[in-house]
Amino acid sequence: GNSVTQMEGPVTLSEEAFLTINCTYTATGYPSLFWYVQYPGEGLQLLLKATKADDKGSNKGFEATYRKETTSFHLEKGSVQVSDSAVYFCALSKPGGTSYGKLTFGQGTILTVHP
C-alpha cells in the first residue's frame, strides 16, 4: 500500500537558519504530493502541493520538488522565522478508484524556531 516517511524530529533551529525536512514515499503509479502545516492548537492547512514529477510547489517561502526517481518530496526554506514553528506533515493522494483523493500522511515533524 501507500506510505509516507518523514525525517525523525523534532527539529530546532535559530531564526534565519536553513530548513530541510525530508519526506519519501512509497506508492504505485503517480501520486500527488502535499505538505500540510499545523500551527499550535489548530487544524491542518495546506502549505504546498505538486501533482506530477519535477513539479515544484511553493508558498510562504517554502518549496518542495516532486522527485520521482528518488520518490522524495523534501520541504525547504531558506530563512525560517519564529512564526514558522509548527508541525509539518508530508502526505500523498492517489485520486481515482477506491482511493478517491484520500490522504496518506507521514508521522509529522515538529519544528521549533528560536529568536
Segment near other proteins (CB under 8 A); pick from 54-62, 64-72, 74-82, 92-100: 92-100
d(CA 64, CA 36): 12
Q: Among residues 15, 16, 42, 54, which is the contact residue for other proteins, using CB under 8 A?
A: 42
* Residue 51 sits in the site that holds other proteins (CB under 8 A): yes
Cell numbers for 14: 535559530
Measured from the CB atom, is 13 or 103 closer to other proteins?
Answer: 103
> Which three-class secondary structure state does DSSP give residue 7?
coil
- Residue 13 burial by Cβ neighbours in a 10 Å radius (0-12, 13-18, 19+): middle
* Residue 80 sits in the site that holds other proteins (CB under 8 A): no
Nearest-CA neighbor of 27 among 86, 79, 102? 102
Which chain residues interact with other proteins by CB under 8 A?
A: 4, 6, 32, 41-46, 49, 51, 89, 93, 95-96, 98, 100-108
